[in-house]
Amino acid sequence: MIDASRFVSTEVYSGEGSLDLSVIGDIRDNERVTGEGSLKLWGPCPACREQGKDTKGEHLVIFPSGAFGCCLYPAESADLGEREDHLRRIWALAGGKNSKLTKPVEVSSEIKAKRAAIKAKGQAIWESIKATPKTLADLGESLEIPEDPKDHFRQWVRLFDQQDLLWVGVKYESREAFAKHCFKPADWEKAWGCVQSEGLDLCFRHTWQSTDGGRQKSNYGAKRFFVLEHDKATREEQIALFAYAQSEWKWKLLGVLDTGGKGYHAYFDPSCINTMQDQYSAILSSFSADTGVFNLGHTRIPGAVRQKTETNEGGKVQKFVWLSTSLVKEVA
C-alpha cells in the first residue's frame, strides 16, 4: 500500500494539499527501479485519460515534495501555457480537498492567438499530407529487410554507434538487473539470447554512461533515435507523414517498423530536429499525432517477444519494412 502521507504538496502546481491517490488509481512506486527507496511514484495521468490517452497508465509522476507532472508536458514543453493548463487540469481532477487551483488557468490573448495560429498551420499541413498518400518506396531506397526476428534485433542495434552502451530489459528492473542487461553493439547476439530466454521486450532511445548508474537520468548518454507514430491515421497517411518530415522538415529517416498492429513507427535521427523541437511538437499535436516522440522513454525492441510466440496481440510479428541505406551503421 502506498503511504500517501509522504507526498505532501509544496509546489505551485499542487496548491495546498496533495493529489488524491485514491482518485488516480494504479499508482506504482519506483523502489524496484532505483534500489534506493521511493524517489517518486508513477501512474495514469487523469488529464490524459480524460482525453482518451495514457492507456498504459504511466504518464503521471509524483515526487516526494508533492510536485507532480506529466511526461507529455515536461518543463521544456513547447507551450508553457498549455503545460500549465494540463497540470491544473490534473489538479482539478485529482487534487486534495484544499485545492485553490480548481478554476481553469487564465490564458492571455497572445497565447490564445499563438495556439490558434499553430493549430491552423498544423491542420493545413495534415490536410496536404492526407491528400498525397505515399508508399514505402516513396521514402527512398531501402536496405534488404531480413525476415528473422533475430536479424531485426541486429538492425535495431545498427541505429547506435559501436562505442555505445545499450540496454534491453523490462519495466521496474533493479540496478543489478539493469547492469546485467546492458551491452555493447558488438555483443548483440548475447543480448538477443537474453531477450529470448528472459522474455525481455523494452529498450531505450538513448545510451547509458555506465552500468553502475541504473536507469537514472543522470546516467543518460546520447539519444540515438526518436519514434514518430500516428495511430489514428491510415497506414498510407502515416507513410505520407514520414515522407513530409523527410522532405519539408529535413528529418533523417533511419527506418520504418511495422508494429503488426495499428500501423508504422518511423525511427528518425534526433540530431536534425533539436533547434525546432518545440515547433514540431506543437504542429504534431494539432492533428493528434503522438507528441511523446521527443521524450526519452522506452520503446519496444524490433522483432522482440511481445508474447512467448514472438508476435503481438494481433498475432503478427513486429518487423522492419524500410531501412536507410546510408544512415544505419555496421555492426559485427
pLDDT score at 137: 95
Looking at the fold, whether 142 and 59 belong to one and the same domain comes out as no
Q: Is residue 117 part of a domain?
A: no
Looking at the fold, whether 77 and 189 belong to one and the same domain comes out as no
Q: What is the DSSP letter of 206?
A: E
End residue of a domain, out of 73, 94, 115:
94
Q: Is residue 329 part of a domain?
A: yes
pLDDT at 233 over 90: yes
Per residue in 262-320, pLDDT tens? 889 999 998 877 666 767 877 888 888 886 666 666 777 876 554 445 555 556 778 89
Looking at the fold, whether 79 and 180 belong to one and the same domain comes out as no
Q: Is residue 112 part of a domain?
A: no
Looking at the fold, whether 270 and 165 belong to one and the same domain comes out as yes
Looking at the fold, whether 179 and 319 belong to one and the same domain comes out as yes
Distance CA 241, CA 133 (A): 9
Looking at the fold, whether 139 and 278 belong to one and the same domain comes out as yes
Instruction: Show the cell assigned to 138.
Output: 516513396
What number is the average pLDDT over the span 198-210? 88
What number is the average pLDDT over the span 29-42? 50
pLDDT at 48 over 60: yes
Report the CATH number at residue 207.
3.90.920
Q: Is residue 111 part of a domain?
A: no
Look up the pTM and report it: 0.69
Residue 320 Cα to chain centre, angstroms: 19
Distance CA 109, CA 197 (A): 57
Per residue in 77-113, pLDDT tens? 445 567 777 888 888 888 765 444 444 445 567 767 8
Residue span of the structural domain in which 12 resides: 4-94
Looking at the fold, whether 205 and 328 belong to one and the same domain comes out as yes
Q: Is residue 265 part of a domain?
A: yes
Structural domain count, the chain:
2
Looking at the fold, whether 154 and 291 belong to one and the same domain comes out as yes
The angle formed by the CA atoms of residues 271, 272 and 274, to the nearest 5 degrees, is 70
Looking at the fold, whether 59 and 150 belong to one and the same domain comes out as no
| Neighbouring C-alpha atoms within 13 Å toward the C-beta of 39 | 11
Distance CA 163, CA 166 (A): 10
Q: Which helix (H) or strand (E) holds 223?
A: strand 220-223
pLDDT score at 38: 43
Looking at the fold, whether 79 and 201 belong to one and the same domain comes out as no
Q: Is residue 297 part of a domain?
A: yes
Q: Is residue 116 part of a domain?
A: no
Residue with grid cell 527512398, as numbered in its chain: 140
What number is the average pLDDT over the span 15-38? 56
Distance CA 234, CA 232 (A): 7
Reported in sequence order, the residue ranges of 131-211 that DSSP labels E, i.e. its strands, are 166-169, 182-183, 202-204, 206-208
Looking at the fold, whether 88 and 144 belong to one and the same domain comes out as no
pLDDT score at 115: 73
